[in-house]
Structure 1
């Protein structure tokens, strides 16, 4: 059964920046929560060269309704020229958890 809940992901170059993005999105109720994954190794092509970097992935839990505002907020606060932004549906999921996400992302 489709839900209104999505998981939006980005990566950044330091644990501190990841924490700032996660905290800011939750403080502004654009995400109910955000998980920061331990450092990962990214291998990618950039400006014609294959690069390797250490990054931290942030997974934001939010609603489709709040997604456009979260997308704009992350774009404004991200330091990358082209930040990763991938959105995945959260289905199926625990009804109680999905309800909590909706409640926590509802503007007060």
Structure 2
């Protein structure tokens, strides 16, 4: 199995489909992510400015590498419509070796699996 130590799975919520697609296109188009999967129809409950609220959102599952993370974060923060966007990166410990190799190589040039 390939070493997955540099592959990250990042989570980011968006307020609607349009903003989620815009972010996905930018991150993949600029080779900051190998793939962004959109999960519509999630509901987030959170405390914001002293109030508990629930909103419908889309979740982005962003596949990238630790080497690309800072540039990805900078771009996401510049494009995201939220005042305080969620961006959480989780290191991938195990996975399909060929897929993880593809994620690692996708940051250098546009590619298709």
Query: What is the TM-score when the length of structure 2 is the normalising length?
Result: 0.91
Q: Deviations over 1:13-66 (max 9, x none)?
A: 011110110111000000000000021111110111101100001011001000
Shift of 1:91: 1.5
RMSD over aligned CA atoms reads 1.3
Q: Separation in 1 of the partners of 2:94 and 2:84? A: 30
Shift of 1:3: 1.4
User: How many residues end up aligned between the 2 structures?
Assistant: 108
1:32 to 31, 34, 37: 34
1:92 corresponds to which residue?
94
Query: What is the TM-score when the length of structure 1 is the normalising length?
Result: 0.95
Q: Separation in 2 of the partners of 1:89 and 1:10? A: 15
Structure 1 portions without partners, runs of 5+: none
Is the contact between residue 34 and residue 106 of structure 2 (CA under 8 Å) also seen in structure 1? Answer: yes
